[in-house]
Amino acid sequence: MKRWLLLIFLSCAGGAWAQLAPVGADPVVDEIRIRSTWGGLSPDSPLITELVVRRSDGGFTMTGTSSRAGKLTAMPPMRASTGDVAALVAAMEAPSRAKFDAGDLGRPDRDVQARIDGEMESESGEDFPIDPAIAGRMQAYRETLRHPGDLATALTAGFRSFHTDDYPGVWVEIALSDGSKIVASSRSQQYLMLPWNRDGQPPTYSPAISQALWRLLPKGATNRDRLHGPISDFELDELVTAGLFDVLNRFDAEVKAGDALRVLEASFVVEEARAQKRLSWMQLGPVLFASLRLPDGPKNLHMKVRLPLKGSALENSDADLARLQAALSLVQRTPALAARIRDQPGEDFRIYDGFGYAWLNERTAEQFIAQMRQLGRIEQLGDNPGLMRGAVMVEEGDAPAYWIALADGRAVLWKKFTNAAATPTTVRCSSIPMGDDIDELLESRKNHLCIGRIYPP
């Protein structure tokens, strides 16, 4: 139910004016704050627009500043349309849309389907030997993408793609007269900056917030041009390619590592799989990348693995299966971590096995011990050579928090990527080592807050 109504009055003299009026005890909009930022590889970076829209004289007035490379400019006050304010509130209060509708691209369906055909055909070259059964399944999958629901699923997956040197952000807070607030934000690089996040709700792929902000923001405001369609050719290509990436990689893996996949599928839910072909520049030798979870495990706990291949099979099948099952099982039976994963269903919890930005190798274990000693908590853990034997590191969320699950069932909230200042019980500390090489730059950056909170088994 809407908490306010928009009443529009037309004057007899031909002018028109509008105001937000309370209905009964329903609150009205007092103020809207908008902060829109962009950072990237540019001499003008960072770009920042900050706006305040306040209720006044039966309507709304907008004031604000813009900043380019640190040079601040005040914007002249201007009237904000009551209709635009109403549209933004309605969009931010609307139910979440779980998938992106292709009709919101602003392009004919034939454009989308042509790009899907091109992406599918790129997998049928001479370096992709198609088994007749797999080819048939690929064609069947292609046909599903002609249906709106299945196409929406594929396009929604495409919004997960990421490219460097482009860091937009928009934050909107609406304050109502009863003291309550409505907040929406996005850091998406994708079309219309979708999806939008709102407190206590799933992300929404509706374009309504983007469209309402585009109308409300003044010309030249940071990120305004990103909030309006139709989608460009480049954006459409990127969206389709990213949306089909996991599915086509899975078909590719079935061709190149079919035996390995069948072994994994007997013990795990294989959420993603791709053979080494797509990352041949890494010169890792034949490997299978996969995202796994246990069949009885939480859906937001994933193990990202890199497994050596011998032909189409796992090179070290027994050892690999035992290690992966042990790690996932330990996390799931560690009380504090299991509760955290259960209580945060919207967050991803990831275990990396031998690849990614950071995993629990020897250097990472040494850093954990050193930083726990710095916090004065290593004696509580027991500073002995076997402390890290069988331990598992779990990464939580996009601004990651790092947990260590110890073999005896204890859990340690080690540290978190944040700008927060240290407290009497925490310290600013360096990043987890990346891979096996020493990165002195990352080691010297104190961009984490070491917490070292220990939870009992």
pLDDT digits (tens, 9 = 90+) for 340-384: 999 999 899 999 998 777 789 999 999 999 999 999 999 999 878
Mean pLDDT, residues 168-190: 95
Which pLDDT score, from 0 to 100, does residue 385 have? Answer: 82
Q: Classify residue 176 by its DSSP letter.
A: E
Which pLDDT score, from 0 to 100, does residue 33 have? Answer: 98
Which pLDDT score, from 0 to 100, does residue 445 have? Answer: 66
Position 277 pLDDT exceeds 70? no
Which pLDDT score, from 0 to 100, does residue 282 have? Answer: 53
**Weakest mean pLDDT among 15-19, 29-33, 303-307, 409-413:** 15-19
Which residue shows structure tokens 């640190």? 70
Verdict on whether the full-model pTM lies above 0.95: no
Give per-residue pLDDT as tens, 385-394: 889 999 999 9
Mean pLDDT, residues 428-443: 66
Position 109 pLDDT exceeds 80? yes
CA dist., res. 62 & res. 78, Å (int): 5
Which pLDDT score, from 0 to 100, does residue 426 have? Answer: 96
Which pLDDT score, from 0 to 100, does residue 359 have? Answer: 86
Quick one: pLDDT band at residue 433, thresholds 50, 70, 90?
confident
Mean pLDDT, residues 108-127: 84
Quick one: pLDDT band at residue 135, thresholds 50, 70, 90?
confident
The pairing of beta strand 166-176 with beta strand 181-186:
antiparallel
Which pLDDT score, from 0 to 100, does residue 355 have? Answer: 75
Q: Are 3 and 22 in contact (CB under 8 A)?
A: no
* Cis amide leading into 286 (omega within 30): no
Mean pLDDT, residues 221-249: 95
CA dist., res. 382 & res. 428, Å (int): 23
Which pLDDT score, from 0 to 100, does residue 162 have? Answer: 83
CA dist., res. 243 & res. 231, Å (int): 15
Which pLDDT score, from 0 to 100, does residue 200 have? Answer: 83
Q: For residue 454, give every residue at least 6 positions away whose Cβ sits within 8 Å of its Cβ, in sequence order, or none.
A: 377, 380, 381, 410, 411, 412
Position 18 pLDDT exceeds 70? no
The per-residue pLDDT of the chain, averaged, comes to 88
Report the percentage of the chain scoring pLDDT > 70.
88
Report the percentage of the chain scoring pLDDT > 90.
74
Quick one: pLDDT band at residue 19, thresholds 50, 70, 90?
very low
Which pLDDT score, from 0 to 100, does residue 358 have? Answer: 78
Which pLDDT score, from 0 to 100, does residue 6 have? Answer: 33
* Cis amide leading into 385 (omega within 30): no
CA dist., res. 230 & res. 236, Å (int): 10
CA dist., res. 261 & res. 449, Å (int): 39
Give per-residue pLDDT as tens, 152-178: 999 999 998 888 788 999 999 999 999
Q: Are 132 and 73 in contact (CB under 8 A)?
A: no
Quick one: pLDDT band at residue 279, thresholds 50, 70, 90?
very low
